[in-house]
Amino acid sequence: MIAFWILAILMIASAVFTVTARKPVYSVVGLLANFVCLAAMYLELQAEFLAVIQIVVYSGAILILFVFVIALLSSGVRPFDVGPNRAPYVLYPAVALAALAFAGIAVTALRTPVAVVQPTGVTGAANAFGSVGDFGVALFTTNLLPFEVTAFILMVAVIGVVLIAGDDDAVTGSRRKKRRPGRRESIVKTPNVTLSLSKGGPQP
Amino acid sequence: MSVSPDNFIALSAVLFFIGVAGVVTRRNPLIMLMSIELLFNAANLALVTYARAWANNAGHIFAFLVITVAAAEAAIGLAIVAVTFRRTPFVDVDEVSALKG
């Protein structure tokens, strides 16, 4: 009970910090706090496997990707900082819409109360609700097709990323020229880094 | 489940609207992508809450699929941001209007 409220306050605070942070790096820190609190919330909801997945995939993979891109984009070039603030334009309609939608959710939730079902089995047991065994059986038997489709989606994503961000050589299949020794890219923070980044990839 | 599912759903809605506010007001592409991650997580919280309330792990499976799609979306979105930024350094996503027609 108390854990829920502490986690809820932490999650809302970190989410607000993520959205209002001055620089993307601060947003990443706020998002990390939010994800960890959400994993704890999953534990409270007896979704043990999802809590672990949340930490591993979100905090371990996606956030690291964000940090890498921030480090790549903001090294040497002008500070990758906030743009103009658009909040005044959308403040009142956004608040009105959010209040309306929130009221709709509240009315719906109050009119149709959920009868909470107690899952069978001891919490934390090997095949209890939300454990790895329970999740795996459901994933590989009744939901096998969605799981396969997931693999397909990931493959499409990988191919898409290679096509979008990879070298042109990877797309056209042309052989890569040998890099001349002594003309390596400079990683020094100078304005020239902008130029070497804009050419795309290592210089021949 | 000592806390009513309604509280979890309300928390999920609050997080969702904070994320929407981030997508709408911020013009930094990376922070916009992070706000989209907030939206995904708010939806996941609702799914897991109802999975627990009805003691049915279909919600867990769906949350798992959402996490996978979020990973793919983050990878492709960040690749697009990186490539666009490589061509023309920008801070405001409204500066990127090459596809506007």
Return d(Cα A11, Cα B18) in angstroms, integer. Answer: 11
What is the structure's pLDDT at A34? 95
- Please name the residue that has the structure tokens 């994993």: A39
Asked if pLDDT for residue A100 goes beyond 50, the answer is: yes
Measured between alpha carbons, how far is A150 from A158 in angstroms, rounded to an integer?
Answer: 12
pLDDT band (50, 70, 90) for residue A196: very low
Q: Find chain B residues with C-beta within 8 A of A41's C-beta.
A: 8, 45
- Residue-wise pLDDT tens digits, A5-48: 999 999 999 999 998 888 888 899 999 999 999 999 999 888 88
Domain boundaries, chain A: 1-80
The larger pLDDT score, comparing residue A84 to residue B32, is at B32
Amino acid (1-letter code) at residue A159: I
Contact yes or no for B18/B38 (Cβ under 8 A): yes
Average pLDDT of the segment spanning B73-94:
82
Residue to test with chain B: of A10, A12, A20, A45, most B Cβ within 10 A: A45
Query: What is the average pLDDT value for chain B, to the nearest integer?
Result: 87
Q: Judge: B27–A119 Cβ closer than 8 Å, yes or no.
A: no
**Nearest by Cα to B29 from A24, A15, A200, A88:** A24
Name the nearest CA neighbour of A30 among B35, B42, B39.
B35
The answer to whether residue A98 scores a pLDDT higher than 50 is yes
Nearest to B81 among A11, A69, A110 (CB): A69
Nearest Cβ partner of B55 from A50, A117, A138?
A117
The answer on pLDDT for B86 being more than 70 is yes
**Residue A195 pLDDT:** 45
For residues A95 and B89, what is the distance between their CA atoms, to the nearest angstrom?
33
Residue B8 CA to residue A104 CA, distance in Å, equals 16
Integer distance in angstroms from the first to the last C-alpha of chain B? 53
Q: What is the interface pTM, i.e. ipTM, of the complex? A: 0.91
Q: Which residues contact A63 (CB under 8 A, 6 or more apart)?
A: A28, A31, A32, A35
Which residue in this structure is represented by tokens 């959402």? B66
Among candidate residues B72, B38, B5, B61, the one with its CA nearest the CA of residue A45: B5
Per the model's pLDDT, the better-predicted residue between A194 and B38 turns out to be B38
Going from the C-alpha of B37 to that of each of A4, A14, A117, B48, the distances in angstroms are 21, 13, 30, 16
- Taking the C-alpha atoms of residue A87 and residue B31, their distance in angstroms, rounded to an integer, is 14
Report, as an integer, the average pLDDT of B49-77.
92
The residue among B14, B65, B98 whose CA lies nearest residue A7 is: B14
- In our burial notation (b when 16+ CB lie closer than 10 A, e otherwise), range B37-67 reads bbbbbbbbbbbbbbbbbbbebebbbbbbbeb
Question: What structural domains does chain B harbor?
Answer: 5-95 (1.10.287.3510)
User: Distance between the two ends of chain A, CA-based, in angstroms?
Assistant: 62
How do residues A51-70 score in pLDDT, each as one tens digit?
A: 999 999 998 899 999 999 88
Q: CA B7 from chain center: how many Å?
A: 21
CB contact under 8 Å between B37 and A58, yes or no, is yes
Q: What is the pLDDT of residues A135-190, one digit of tens each?
A: 899 999 999 999 999 999 999 999 999 888 776 655 555 555 545 454 444 444 44
Q: What local confidence, expressed as pLDDT, does residue A7 receive?
A: 93
| CATH number of the structural domain A1-80 | 1.20.120.1200
What does the block give as tokens for B86? Answer: 């490589």
pLDDT at A144: 93
Residue A8 to residue A5: CA distance in whole angstroms: 5
From A128-137, A154-163, B8-17, B55-64, the region with the lowest mean pLDDT: A128-137
User: Hey, are the CB atoms on A38 and B26 less than 8 Å from each other?
Assistant: no
Whether A76 has a pLDDT exceeding 70, the answer reads no
Q: A194 pLDDT exceeds 60?
A: no
Residue A66 has its nearest CB partner, among B26, B30, B73, at B30
Contacts of A138 in chain B (CB under 8 A): 57-58, 60-61
CA–CA dist A37, A42 (Å, integer) = 9
Residues A44/A54, Cβ–Cβ less than 8 Å: no
Of all residues in chain B, the percent with pLDDT exceeding 90 is 44
pLDDT for residue B56: 87
pLDDT digits (tens, 9 = 90+) for A105-114: 888 878 887 7
pTM of the predicted model, to two decimals? 0.81
Q: Is residue B96 predicted with pLDDT exceeding 70?
A: yes
Looking at residue A91, its amino acid is L
In this predicted structure, what is the pLDDT of residue A8?
94
Q: How does pLDDT run across B22-54, given as a tens digit for each residue?
A: 888 887 888 889 999 999 999 999 999 999 998
CA distance A32 to A101: 27
Q: How far apart are CA A148 and CA A101, in angstroms?
A: 35
Measured between beta carbons, the chain B residues lying within 8 angstroms of A78 are 89, 91
